[in-house]
Protein backbone atom coordinates (compact mmCIF):
# COMPACT_ATOMS: atom_id res chain seq x y z
CA UNK A 1 0.00 0.00 0.00
CA UNK A 2 1.35 3.37 -1.00
CA UNK A 3 2.73 5.47 1.83
CA UNK A 4 3.54 9.15 1.59
CA UNK A 5 5.37 9.67 4.85
CA UNK A 6 9.04 10.52 5.19
CA UNK A 7 10.91 11.08 8.44
CA UNK A 8 13.83 13.44 8.77
CA UNK A 9 15.18 13.05 12.31
CA UNK A 10 12.17 14.16 14.38
CA UNK A 11 10.37 15.94 11.57
CA UNK A 12 7.30 14.59 9.83
CA UNK A 13 6.69 15.37 6.18
CA UNK A 14 3.66 14.59 4.06
CA UNK A 15 4.35 14.25 0.37
CA UNK A 16 2.56 16.63 -1.94
CA UNK A 17 1.20 13.66 -3.88
CA UNK A 18 -2.26 12.45 -3.00
CA UNK A 19 -2.10 9.62 -0.46
CA UNK A 20 -5.85 9.32 -0.28
CA UNK A 21 -6.95 9.28 -3.87
CA UNK A 22 -8.67 5.92 -3.44
CA UNK A 23 -10.44 4.46 -0.44
CA UNK A 24 -8.61 1.70 1.35
CA UNK A 25 -10.21 -1.66 2.04
CA UNK A 26 -11.25 -1.93 5.72
CA UNK A 27 -10.53 -5.66 5.79
CA UNK A 28 -6.98 -4.94 4.65
CA UNK A 29 -6.75 -2.21 7.26
CA UNK A 30 -7.93 -4.65 9.91
CA UNK A 31 -5.18 -7.08 8.95
CA UNK A 32 -2.65 -4.28 9.24
CA UNK A 33 -3.83 -3.58 12.78
CA UNK A 34 -3.09 -7.23 13.53
CA UNK A 35 -1.95 -7.79 17.09
CA UNK A 36 -1.91 -4.45 18.86
CA UNK A 37 -1.69 -2.92 22.31
CA UNK A 38 -3.31 0.02 24.09
CA UNK A 39 -1.13 2.82 25.40
CA UNK A 40 -3.50 3.17 28.32
CA UNK A 41 -3.55 5.42 31.40
CA UNK A 42 -1.54 8.16 29.68
CA UNK A 43 -3.29 10.60 27.35
CA UNK A 44 -6.76 9.60 28.55
CA UNK A 45 -5.99 10.59 32.14
CA UNK A 46 -7.31 14.04 33.15
CA UNK A 47 -3.70 15.15 32.69
CA UNK A 48 -0.94 12.93 31.31
CA UNK A 49 0.95 11.44 34.25
CA UNK A 50 -1.99 11.64 36.68
CA UNK A 51 -2.49 7.89 36.42
CA UNK A 52 1.18 6.95 36.59
CA UNK A 53 1.94 6.72 32.87
CA UNK A 54 3.74 9.29 30.73
CA UNK A 55 4.46 8.23 27.17
CA UNK A 56 8.14 7.91 26.31
CA UNK A 57 9.75 7.69 22.91
CA UNK A 58 11.40 4.38 23.80
CA UNK A 59 8.03 2.72 24.41
CA UNK A 60 7.13 2.69 20.72
CA UNK A 61 10.39 1.02 19.72
CA UNK A 62 10.01 -1.53 22.52
CA UNK A 63 6.47 -2.33 21.40
CA UNK A 64 7.47 -2.76 17.75
CA UNK A 65 10.48 -4.90 18.66
CA UNK A 66 8.23 -7.18 20.71
CA UNK A 67 6.26 -7.95 17.56
CA UNK A 68 3.17 -5.76 17.81
CA UNK A 69 1.63 -4.42 14.61
CA UNK A 70 -0.26 -1.42 15.96
CA UNK A 71 -1.04 0.79 18.92
CA UNK A 72 -4.35 2.18 20.09
CA UNK A 73 -3.90 5.56 21.78
CA UNK A 74 -6.75 6.48 24.15
CA UNK A 75 -7.11 10.29 24.32
CA UNK A 76 -9.23 12.50 26.58
CA UNK A 77 -9.77 15.40 24.18
CA UNK A 78 -12.66 16.71 26.26
CA UNK A 79 -10.34 17.77 29.08
CA UNK A 80 -8.20 19.86 26.72
CA UNK A 81 -10.79 21.95 24.88
CA UNK A 82 -12.97 24.97 25.52
CA UNK A 83 -16.28 24.16 27.17
CA UNK A 84 -18.15 26.74 25.13
CA UNK A 85 -18.38 27.24 21.38
CA UNK A 86 -16.19 27.05 19.30
CA UNK A 87 -14.81 24.32 21.65
CA UNK A 88 -11.22 24.93 20.53
CA UNK A 89 -8.74 22.18 21.39
CA UNK A 90 -5.58 23.31 23.20
CA UNK A 91 -2.82 23.51 20.55
CA UNK A 92 -0.26 22.27 23.07
CA UNK A 93 -2.29 19.12 23.58
CA UNK A 94 -2.61 18.69 19.83
CA UNK A 95 1.19 18.88 19.64
CA UNK A 96 1.55 16.15 22.25
CA UNK A 97 -0.83 13.87 20.37
CA UNK A 98 1.01 14.71 17.12
CA UNK A 99 4.23 13.54 18.74
CA UNK A 100 2.69 10.25 19.86
CA UNK A 101 1.25 9.49 16.41
CA UNK A 102 4.43 10.44 14.56
CA UNK A 103 6.58 8.39 16.92
CA UNK A 104 4.36 5.36 16.37
CA UNK A 105 4.50 5.80 12.59
CA UNK A 106 8.26 6.27 12.74
CA UNK A 107 8.43 2.82 14.35
CA UNK A 108 6.23 1.30 11.63
CA UNK A 109 3.24 0.89 13.90
CA UNK A 110 -0.28 1.44 12.65
CA UNK A 111 -2.18 3.84 14.89
CA UNK A 112 -5.74 4.07 16.16
CA UNK A 113 -6.65 7.30 17.95
CA UNK A 114 -9.93 7.73 19.76
CA UNK A 115 -11.97 9.94 22.05
CA UNK A 116 -11.77 8.40 25.52
CA UNK A 117 -13.47 9.18 28.83
CA UNK A 118 -15.78 11.92 27.61
CA UNK A 119 -17.83 11.25 30.74
CA UNK A 120 -20.00 14.35 30.42
CA UNK A 121 -21.23 13.07 27.05
CA UNK A 122 -22.15 9.74 28.65
CA UNK A 123 -24.15 11.50 31.36
CA UNK A 124 -25.79 14.23 29.26
CA UNK A 125 -25.70 13.19 25.61
CA UNK A 126 -27.96 15.94 24.32
CA UNK A 127 -26.10 18.68 26.16
CA UNK A 128 -22.70 17.59 24.84
CA UNK A 129 -23.42 16.27 21.35
CA UNK A 130 -22.65 19.61 19.68
CA UNK A 131 -19.27 19.81 21.44
CA UNK A 132 -18.50 16.17 20.57
CA UNK A 133 -19.07 16.83 16.86
CA UNK A 134 -17.06 20.09 17.01
CA UNK A 135 -14.13 18.28 18.59
CA UNK A 136 -14.14 15.66 15.85
CA UNK A 137 -14.33 18.32 13.15
CA UNK A 138 -11.08 19.79 14.54
CA UNK A 139 -9.38 16.42 15.00
CA UNK A 140 -10.29 15.24 11.51
CA UNK A 141 -9.10 18.44 9.84
CA UNK A 142 -5.89 18.43 11.86
CA UNK A 143 -4.95 14.90 10.74
CA UNK A 144 -6.44 14.88 7.25
CA UNK A 145 -3.04 14.60 5.56
CA UNK A 146 -1.72 11.82 7.75
CA UNK A 147 -1.26 8.42 6.09
CA UNK A 148 -3.98 5.79 5.98
CA UNK A 149 -2.19 3.85 8.72
CA UNK A 150 -3.84 6.30 11.14
CA UNK A 151 -7.42 5.32 12.03
CA UNK A 152 -10.11 7.32 13.85
CA UNK A 153 -12.31 5.81 16.57
CA UNK A 154 -15.05 8.37 17.33
CA UNK A 155 -15.80 7.27 20.91
CA UNK A 156 -14.59 4.66 23.35
CA UNK A 157 -17.29 2.55 25.00
CA UNK A 158 -20.53 4.57 24.75
CA UNK A 159 -22.46 3.84 27.94
CA UNK A 160 -24.67 5.16 30.75
CA UNK A 161 -27.21 7.60 29.28
CA UNK A 162 -25.63 7.39 25.84
CA UNK A 163 -27.76 4.41 24.91
CA UNK A 164 -27.83 2.84 21.47
CA UNK A 165 -30.87 4.83 20.32
CA UNK A 166 -28.94 8.06 21.01
CA UNK A 167 -25.49 6.78 20.06
CA UNK A 168 -26.33 5.48 16.59
CA UNK A 169 -27.47 8.84 15.16
CA UNK A 170 -24.64 10.67 16.94
CA UNK A 171 -22.12 8.21 15.52
CA UNK A 172 -23.53 8.81 12.04
CA UNK A 173 -23.07 12.57 12.53
CA UNK A 174 -19.49 12.04 13.71
CA UNK A 175 -18.67 9.90 10.69
CA UNK A 176 -20.22 12.52 8.40
CA UNK A 177 -18.09 15.32 9.85
CA UNK A 178 -14.98 13.13 9.59
CA UNK A 179 -15.79 12.40 5.95
CA UNK A 180 -15.85 16.13 5.13
CA UNK A 181 -12.05 16.30 5.48
CA UNK A 182 -11.14 12.59 5.44
CA UNK A 183 -13.26 10.94 2.76
CA UNK A 184 -11.10 7.82 2.73
CA UNK A 185 -10.04 7.54 6.36
CA UNK A 186 -10.82 4.20 8.03
CA UNK A 187 -13.17 4.74 10.96
CA UNK A 188 -13.48 2.36 13.90
CA UNK A 189 -16.95 2.22 15.45
CA UNK A 190 -17.80 1.01 18.97
CA UNK A 191 -21.30 -0.28 19.75
CA UNK A 192 -23.16 1.06 22.76
CA UNK A 193 -23.11 -0.43 26.27
CA UNK A 194 -19.34 -0.42 26.68
CA UNK A 195 -18.68 -1.59 23.10
CA UNK A 196 -20.66 -4.78 23.57
CA UNK A 197 -24.17 -4.26 22.15
CA UNK A 198 -23.33 -5.13 18.57
CA UNK A 199 -26.91 -6.25 17.82
CA UNK A 200 -28.14 -2.65 18.00
CA UNK A 201 -25.23 -1.01 16.17
CA UNK A 202 -26.32 0.86 13.05
CA UNK A 203 -23.84 2.22 10.52
CA UNK A 204 -24.30 4.26 7.35
CA UNK A 205 -24.86 1.55 4.75
CA UNK A 206 -23.09 3.42 1.95
CA UNK A 207 -19.91 3.93 4.01
CA UNK A 208 -17.97 0.69 3.79
CA UNK A 209 -14.64 1.96 5.17
CA UNK A 210 -15.54 1.14 8.78
CA UNK A 211 -14.18 -1.42 11.24
CA UNK A 212 -16.40 -2.45 14.16
CA UNK A 213 -14.71 -2.71 17.55
CA UNK A 214 -15.99 -4.76 20.48
CA UNK A 215 -14.39 -4.94 23.94
CA UNK A 216 -14.09 -8.14 25.94
CA UNK A 217 -13.56 -8.55 29.69
CA UNK A 218 -15.76 -11.53 30.48
CA UNK A 219 -16.09 -12.80 33.12
CA UNK A 220 -15.76 -9.43 34.87
CA UNK A 221 -15.33 -11.01 38.31
CA UNK A 222 -12.14 -12.60 37.00
CA UNK A 223 -10.68 -9.84 34.80
CA UNK A 224 -11.49 -6.99 37.20
CA UNK A 225 -11.05 -8.63 40.60
CA UNK A 226 -9.68 -6.09 43.04
CA UNK A 227 -10.23 -3.18 40.63
CA UNK A 228 -11.07 -0.35 42.99
CA UNK A 229 -13.08 1.57 40.37
CA UNK A 230 -15.60 -1.27 39.85
CA UNK A 231 -17.96 -1.63 42.81
CA UNK A 232 -19.06 -5.12 41.87
CA UNK A 233 -15.53 -6.56 41.77
CA UNK A 234 -13.34 -4.34 43.95
CA UNK A 235 -13.56 -6.68 46.96
CA UNK A 236 -12.99 -9.89 44.99
CA UNK A 237 -9.74 -11.84 44.95
CA UNK A 238 -8.52 -15.30 44.02
CA UNK A 239 -11.07 -15.72 41.23
CA UNK A 240 -9.72 -18.32 38.81
CA UNK A 241 -10.05 -19.14 35.12
CA UNK A 242 -8.96 -22.70 34.39
CA UNK A 243 -9.92 -22.99 30.72
CA UNK A 244 -12.64 -25.52 31.42
CA UNK A 245 -14.82 -26.53 28.50
CA UNK A 246 -17.59 -24.35 29.89
CA UNK A 247 -15.29 -21.34 30.29
CA UNK A 248 -13.85 -21.70 26.80
CA UNK A 249 -17.30 -22.17 25.30
CA UNK A 250 -18.46 -18.91 26.86
CA UNK A 251 -15.63 -17.05 25.09
CA UNK A 252 -16.31 -18.84 21.82
CA UNK A 253 -20.03 -18.05 21.99
CA UNK A 254 -19.34 -14.34 22.39
CA UNK A 255 -16.76 -14.26 19.61
CA UNK A 256 -18.89 -16.35 17.26
CA UNK A 257 -21.71 -13.85 17.71
CA UNK A 258 -19.41 -11.01 16.64
CA UNK A 259 -18.09 -13.11 13.76
CA UNK A 260 -21.59 -13.83 12.47
CA UNK A 261 -22.58 -10.18 12.78
CA UNK A 262 -19.50 -9.19 10.79
CA UNK A 263 -20.37 -11.70 8.07
CA UNK A 264 -24.00 -10.64 7.95
CA UNK A 265 -23.08 -6.97 7.60
CA UNK A 266 -19.81 -7.38 5.68
CA UNK A 267 -17.82 -5.49 8.35
CA UNK A 268 -14.38 -6.37 9.77
CA UNK A 269 -14.15 -6.87 13.54
CA UNK A 270 -11.57 -5.53 15.98
CA UNK A 271 -11.30 -6.43 19.67
CA UNK A 272 -10.34 -2.96 20.84
CA UNK A 273 -9.78 -3.93 24.45
CA UNK A 274 -9.33 -7.15 26.39
CA UNK A 275 -7.20 -7.94 29.39
CA UNK A 276 -7.07 -9.22 32.96
CA UNK A 277 -5.83 -7.20 35.91
CA UNK A 278 -2.49 -8.08 37.47
CA UNK A 279 -4.31 -8.95 40.71
CA UNK A 280 -5.73 -12.05 39.06
CA UNK A 281 -3.93 -15.37 39.73
CA UNK A 282 -0.82 -15.29 37.58
CA UNK A 283 -1.22 -18.43 35.49
CA UNK A 284 -4.97 -18.04 35.13
CA UNK A 285 -4.39 -14.54 33.79
CA UNK A 286 -1.97 -15.88 31.19
CA UNK A 287 -4.33 -18.74 30.34
CA UNK A 288 -7.34 -16.42 29.83
CA UNK A 289 -5.36 -13.87 27.82
CA UNK A 290 -3.94 -16.50 25.51
CA UNK A 291 -7.31 -18.07 24.89
CA UNK A 292 -9.00 -14.75 24.11
CA UNK A 293 -6.15 -13.63 21.83
CA UNK A 294 -6.27 -16.89 19.91
CA UNK A 295 -10.06 -16.75 19.71
CA UNK A 296 -9.74 -13.38 17.99
CA UNK A 297 -6.98 -14.43 15.61
CA UNK A 298 -8.78 -17.66 14.61
CA UNK A 299 -11.75 -15.59 13.48
CA UNK A 300 -9.72 -13.03 11.56
CA UNK A 301 -10.20 -10.25 14.12
CA UNK A 302 -7.53 -7.71 14.92
CA UNK A 303 -7.03 -6.87 18.58
CA UNK A 304 -5.52 -4.41 21.05
CA UNK A 305 -4.56 -5.80 24.43
CA UNK A 306 -5.39 -3.58 27.43
CA UNK A 307 -2.78 -2.38 28.21
CA UNK A 308 0.95 -1.60 28.03
CA UNK A 309 2.38 -0.73 31.46
CA UNK A 310 -0.23 -0.12 34.15
CA UNK A 311 -2.63 -2.30 36.18
CA UNK A 312 -3.39 -4.64 33.29
CA UNK A 313 0.03 -4.10 31.76
CA UNK A 314 2.33 -6.59 30.12
CA UNK A 315 5.41 -4.35 30.44
CA UNK A 316 7.11 -3.27 33.68
CA UNK A 317 8.28 0.29 33.07
CA UNK A 318 10.28 0.37 36.32
CA UNK A 319 12.26 -2.77 35.58
CA UNK A 320 12.10 -2.02 31.85
CA UNK A 321 11.16 -5.58 30.99
CA UNK A 322 8.23 -7.52 29.59
CA UNK A 323 6.21 -10.09 31.48
CA UNK A 324 7.56 -12.63 29.03
CA UNK A 325 5.01 -15.38 29.74
CA UNK A 326 2.12 -12.99 29.22
CA UNK A 327 3.71 -11.37 26.17
CA UNK A 328 4.21 -14.63 24.34
CA UNK A 329 0.50 -15.51 24.46
CA UNK A 330 -0.38 -12.08 23.06
CA UNK A 331 2.39 -11.92 20.46
CA UNK A 332 3.91 -15.34 19.88
CA UNK A 333 7.61 -14.90 19.36
CA UNK A 334 9.01 -15.95 16.00
CA UNK A 335 11.67 -18.62 16.11
CA distance 192 to 206: 21
Residue 65 lies in a domain: yes
pTM of structure: 0.92
Residue 16 lies in a domain: no
Residue 12 lies in a domain: no
Rounded CA Rg of the chain: 19
CA distance 135 to 119: 15
Give CA 99 to chain center in angstroms.
18
pLDDT of residue 1: 37
Residue 3 lies in a domain: no
Residue 95 lies in a domain: yes
| pLDDT for 8 beyond 50 | no
Residue 335 lies in a domain: no
Give the total number of structural domains in the chain: 1
| pLDDT for 98 beyond 70 | yes
- CATH number of the domain encompassing residue 262: 3.20.20.80
CA dihedral in degrees (139, 144, 150, 154; nearest 10)?
40
Mention every residue, 6+ apart, whose C-beta is less than 8 A from residue 298: none
Residue 236 lies in a domain: yes
Q: Give the number of other CB atoms < 10 A from CB of residue 305.
A: 27
pLDDT of residue 24: 87
| pLDDT for 4 beyond 60 | no
- Whether the CB-CB separation of 80 and 115 falls below 8 Å is answered with no
Q: What is the mean pLDDT of the chain?
A: 93
pLDDT of residue 23: 72
Nearest to 225 by CA among 280, 167, 284: 280
The mean per-residue pLDDT over the stretch 129-147 comes to 98
Nearest to 197 by CA among 225, 226, 162: 162
Residue 15 lies in a domain: no
Domain carrying residue 96: 25-330
pLDDT (tens digit, 9 = 90+) per residue, 211-261? 999 999 999 999 999 999 999 999 999 999 999 999 999 999 999 999 999
Nearest to 40 by CA among 335, 320, 312: 312
CA distance 193 to 119: 14
pLDDT of residue 2: 33
Confidence of residue 334 (pLDDT cuts 50, 70, 90): low
pLDDT of residue 7: 28
pLDDT (tens digit, 9 = 90+) per residue, 162-192? 999 999 999 999 999 999 999 999 999 999 9
Amino acid sequence: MKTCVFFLSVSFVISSSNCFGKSVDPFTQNKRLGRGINLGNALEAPKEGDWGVTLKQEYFKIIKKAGFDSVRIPIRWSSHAMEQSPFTIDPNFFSRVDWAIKTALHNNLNVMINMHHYMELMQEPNAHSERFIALWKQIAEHYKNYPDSVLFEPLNEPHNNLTWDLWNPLLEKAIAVIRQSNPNRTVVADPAHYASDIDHLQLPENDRNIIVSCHYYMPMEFTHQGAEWVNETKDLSGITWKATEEEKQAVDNHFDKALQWGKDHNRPINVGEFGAINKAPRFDRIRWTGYVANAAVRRGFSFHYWEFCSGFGVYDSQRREWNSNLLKVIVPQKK
